[in-house]
Amino acid sequence: MSIESLVSRARHICEVNGARFTSIREKVFRLLADTHGGIGAYELLDQLKQTEPAAKPATIYRALDFLTEQGFIHKIESSNAFLLCHHFEEHHPAQLLICDRCNHVEELHSTPLQQEFQRLASEKGFLIQRQTIEAHGICQSCLKKEANG
C-alpha cells in the first residue's frame, strides 16, 4: 500500500467527516506512514521539526489526537508509541503483536477474542468502553533469523 494512496484515502475520509486535513496533520500522517512499527511522540517531533522548525510537543500531540479521532492511528499503550493503521475505513479495536527485536507490529482483528473479553467483563457487571490488547515477543521473521543464524 503506497503512502500516496494512504494519504488520499485519509484526505477523503476527512472531507466526508468535515474535518480539515491540514498541512501539519498530513506531515505527521506521512511520518507515521514512513515508519516501520511504532514511533514515540518525541521522535516524531524531531522528524517533524525538519520541515516544521517551530513544532513543539503540543504540535505533535494535537496532530496525534486528531489522527486518533479520525481512526487513522493506534496508540501502543505498553510502549507509549503510535502506529499508523492501514485499514482505517472503519474504526475498529485491534490486538497488537509487537516484536521487541525488530520493532515490527502486527495488527490482529479477532472478533472472538474481543467478544470473549467482553463476555468475561459482563459476568462481572463491567461495561467495557475501550480495550487494550497487546503482546510483546518475537515475530516470525526474527525467529527464523535466529534459527538460521
CB atoms within 10 A of CB 49: 14
Q: Which of a second copy, DNA, none has residue 140 at its interface (CB below 5 to 8 Å by kind)? A: a second copy
The region of 22-30, 91-99, 100-108, 125-133 touching DNA under the rule CB under 7 A is: 22-30
d(CA 6, CA 18): 18
**HSE of 16, CA atoms in CB hemisphere, 13 A:** 9
Residue with cell 467527516: 17
- 40-69 mask for DNA (x: CB under 7 A)? xxxx--------x-xxxxxx-xxx--x---
Question: Which grid coordinates belong to 21?
Answer: 486535513
Residue pointed to by grid coordinates 503512502: 3
Judged by CB under 7 A, the chain residues 109 through 128 that form the site for DNA are: none
**Residues near a second copy (CB under 8 A):** 77-78, 95, 97, 99-100, 106, 108, 110, 112-113, 116-117, 120-121, 124-140, 143
